[in-house]
Amino acid sequence: MIRPPAEIGMQLADVDTPALIVDLDAFERNLAAMANNIAAAGVRIRPHAKTHKCAVIARRQMALGAVGVCCQKVSEAQALVQAGVPDVLVSNQVVGSRKIAHLMALSREARVGVCVDDAGNTAEIGKAAAAQGIVIDVLVEIDVGAGRCGVPPGEEALALARQVASTDELRFAGLQAYHGSAQHIRDYAERGRAIDSAASMTRATVESLAREGIECETVAGAGTGTWQFEAASGVYNELQAGSYIFMDVDYATNLDESGAPFTDFEHSLFVYSTVMSRPVRERAVLDAGLKAFATDCGMPRMADFESVAVLKASDEHGVVDLTASNASVGVGDKVRLVPGHCDPTVNLHDWYVCVRGDRVEALWPIVARGCVW
C-alpha cells in the first residue's frame, strides 16, 4: 500500500497532493444526522461501504446504531471483515465457484449475507454451503425499476424465494429491492413517485410470500437520494444509503421539497490539489486529473472559489478556466475539489487524510480500495 500523503498533526496546507481529505466535523455531522433520522423513522440502517471502503468508518457507523454494512464484492467484504467489521451483506450477486468459496470462508469469520437473482446460482451457493457445513443468509433481489440486476417481482421472485426457503443451508432473509436509478432524479416529487412504485411492487411480493408462510425479516433498499421515501414506506425496514457520509456534486444537485438543492447532508469529502502550472492568465492547471477523481458524473467543483470551474481533466491534470475570474491563483497554491461522484473517487486513493479545522487528526486506510472481484 502506498504511504499516506500526510502526517498526523500536520497543517492541511502542508499535505501533499493529490490527497483525499475528510472534513471530520462535517463528516461527523452527517453520521449523526442520519443516525437521528433513522431512529426517528423506526427502521434500521446498514450503510453501504462501497462508498467508503474503510473499516474505521464502518465501525463508526455501527457505533451509532447501524446493524452492519453492505458491500458489492466478496473481496470488499473480506477486506472489511479482516479489519474487524462483524456483519456484512454482499448486496449483490456472487457468481463463480472461486468467489463463492471465498464467501463461504468469510462466513466463518463474521455474519455474512448475499443476494441472488438466478436459480442456478442459488443452487451453487446452496451446494457450497452444504459442503462446508455452513448456513448463509440470502436475500432475493427484485428489480423494482432500476433495470439492472434482480428478478421481476411476481411469480419469478416467489419461485426463487421458495427455492431459497426450501434449501437447508440457505436462510431466506428477505428481499433486496434497491431502486438505483431513482437516486438521481432531481425533482423531489418525481423521486418520491419512483419509490412509491418500487415500494408497491415490493409490498405485493412481501404479501404474496407471507400468504405462503414465507416471512421477509429484511426488506432492504434505499440510497442517499431517496432514503426518506423508503423509511416512510411502511415496507422497507433496512436502508442502505452510503453517500450521505460524504456527499458529492451529483447528490447535491438533487432538489428538496421546496425545489431548493438538497441540504440534508454536507460535503465532507474533497480532493486536495496543487496548482502546478499557470502558463497564461486564463488558465491554471491542477495536479489532479482522471486518476485522482472520477468524472462519470461530471467535473469536480472548486470548493473555495466562486465562478471558477474545472473545465476538463486529462489523466494527471485538471484544467481550470479563469477567464471570468480575478481569483488570485498561483503555482503552488492548493485548492479543494468536491468530487462529481464520491464512490469511484474514493476507489482511486489509499488513504483518507482526516482534518479537523486545519490540522490533520487521523489517517484512515481505504482497506477495500481496488477490491473489484
> Under the rule (CB under 8 A), what is the footprint of a second copy?
1-2, 5, 14, 16-19, 50, 72-73, 75, 92-93, 95-96, 98-99, 117-118, 120-121, 143, 147-152, 180, 274-280, 283, 285, 287-288, 290-292, 294-296, 313-317, 319, 331-332, 341, 343-344, 347-350, 369-373
Cis peptide before 47 (omega within 30 of 0): no
Distance in Å, CB of 110 to a second copy, minimum: 19
> Residue 2 or 260: which CB sits closer to a second copy?
2
Are 305 and 327 a contacting pair, CB within 8 Å? Answer: yes
Distance in Å, CB of 271 to a second copy, minimum: 9
> Residue 37 or 51: which CB sits closer to a second copy?
51
Distance in Å, CB of 79 to a second copy, minimum: 9
Distance in Å, CB of 299 to a second copy, minimum: 11
> Residue 95 or 324: which CB sits closer to a second copy?
95
Strands (DSSP E) found in the chain: 19-23, 44-45, 69-71, 87-90, 111-116, 136-141, 170-176, 218-221, 238-239, 269-280, 283-286, 301-302, 309-313, 318-321, 334-338, 351-356, 359-365
- Residues 74 and 82: their CA atoms lie apart, in Å, by 12
Distance in Å, CB of 40 to a second copy, minimum: 29
Sign of CA dihedral 125, 126, 129, 134: positive
Distance in Å, CB of 297 to a second copy, minimum: 10
> Residue 43 or 99: which CB sits closer to a second copy?
99
- Residues 300 and 269: their CA atoms lie apart, in Å, by 11
> Residue 68 or 340: which CB sits closer to a second copy?
340
- Residues 257 and 236: their CA atoms lie apart, in Å, by 21
Distance in Å, CB of 38 to a second copy, minimum: 23
- Residues 118 and 112: their CA atoms lie apart, in Å, by 19
- Residues 359 and 73: their CA atoms lie apart, in Å, by 34
> Residue 152 or 259: which CB sits closer to a second copy?
152
- How many Cβ atoms are within 10 Å of 155's Cβ, its own excluded? 10
> Residue 87 or 118: which CB sits closer to a second copy?
118
DSSP element (H, E) containing 163? helix 155-165
Distance in Å, CB of 258 to a second copy, minimum: 29
> Residue 37 or 251: which CB sits closer to a second copy?
251
Task: Show the cell assigned to 297.
Answer: 458524473
> Residue 199 or 313: which CB sits closer to a second copy?
313
DSSP-assigned letter for residue 367: T
- List residues bridging with 365 in a β-sheet: 351
Are 285 and 320 a contacting pair, CB within 8 Å? Answer: yes
Are 184 and 225 a contacting pair, CB within 8 Å? Answer: yes
Are 24 and 352 a contacting pair, CB within 8 Å? Answer: no
Distance in Å, CB of 323 to a second copy, minimum: 12
Beta strand 283-286 pairing with 318-321: antiparallel
- Residues 309 and 238: their CA atoms lie apart, in Å, by 39
Are 121 and 93 a contacting pair, CB within 8 Å? Answer: yes
